Amino acid sequence: MTKINKLDISIVVPLYNEQDSIRELVKWIHSVIHGKYNFEIIFIDDGSKDDSWTVIKELSSQYEFIKAIKFRRNYGKSAALNTGFRLSNGEVVITMDADLQDSPEEIPDLYNMITKENYDLVSGWKKKRYDPISKTLPTKLFNFTVRLFSGIKLHDFNCGLKAYNCSVVKNIEVHGDMHRYIPVIAKFNGFDKISEKTVVHQSRKHGKSKYGFERFINGYLDLLTVIFVSKFSQKPMHFFGTIGTILFLVGFFIFSYIGGTKLINLELKPIVERSEFFIALVFMIIGAQMFLAGYISEMISNLSRSKDNYQIEERINNHD
């Protein structure tokens, strides 16, 4: 079995149609940290339709620190990050976007915050952004909501520039569109030493943003999913069973009341003709269904979860 030498830094770069930025990004990273750290750059090409993969293969022949994966189709940023995390060998893992809006000049400080200040995760904060108000205003509202629900005091949860202790990325899974909530996922997995660093936000040089307004709507749905899964994935009966029991008991007490009043006063109209009877019946049925859902979920949670299976078209691995 080949022994993997631990590196100082793994830089994970998910990308989609960024052919014009990749060369400049590699040169920029190289100029900042070459000779100071042992590092690798892991490109995850998320099914690009342009010449991004051709550029990456060309660069991999020039630089031995480049590793890369090309997905057969577009799976999304979360899938790309999750794959990059699995491939990383660095003591510190840094994620950044390929569009040159994240500055590699921040890497040394981020590395020191993880290794010397013992943070589990450090998130970038783009205090001054070069984005239109149509993007910055919803982002502020989004960040406020996540802070409120998660209790994590970060200004910019969705910043692509983040640094992680390697133990964090090896013990979390990111899927769907959950990359926005990696700090929340990390906290619920016991990695609560989370901080932020003000970083420089560059204006976009090439291409255009891959995200539209719909990501903010989906973002709130994903937040509810993260909170639910994080709190109840191991004990779903605590959620479904509690709600089901309460609803069933409410229905049972309503039914007992109308049944008792009928026994006391036989002149009252039949129970099945009273609206309270149908309300009680609905509560009891829904309660029983919720309890049953909790029971089934409890059994499912005990089964081993199947691994994500992304279809990889090509792979570059300059060092094992």
- CB 67 within 8 Å of CB 42: yes
Kindly report the average pLDDT of the chain as a whole number.
85
Model pLDDT for residues 173-187, shown as the tens digit of each residue: 888 778 888 998 899
> What is Dmax (Cα atoms) for the chain?
94
Work out the pLDDT band at 2, boundaries 50, 70, 90.
very low
pLDDT of residue 268: 80
- CB 227 within 8 Å of CB 149: yes
pTM: predicted TM-score of the whole model, two decimal places? 0.73
Q: Does residue 3 or residue 308 have the better pLDDT? A: 308
Work out the pLDDT band at 296, boundaries 50, 70, 90.
confident
pLDDT of residue 176: 76
What span, in angstroms and rounded, lies between the C-alpha atoms of 222 and 217?
Answer: 9
Model pLDDT for residues 76-124, shown as the tens digit of each residue: 999 999 999 999 999 999 999 999 989 999 999 999 999 999 999 999 9
Determine how many CB atoms are found less than 10 A away from the CB of residue 39.
21
Work out the pLDDT band at 3, boundaries 50, 70, 90.
very low
292: left (phi over 0), alpha (psi -120 to 50) or beta: alpha
Query: CA 70, 73, 78, 83 torsion: positive or negative?
Result: negative
Model pLDDT for residues 12-57, shown as the tens digit of each residue: 999 999 999 999 999 999 999 999 999 999 999 999 999 999 999 9
pLDDT of residue 191: 93
pLDDT above 60 for 305: no
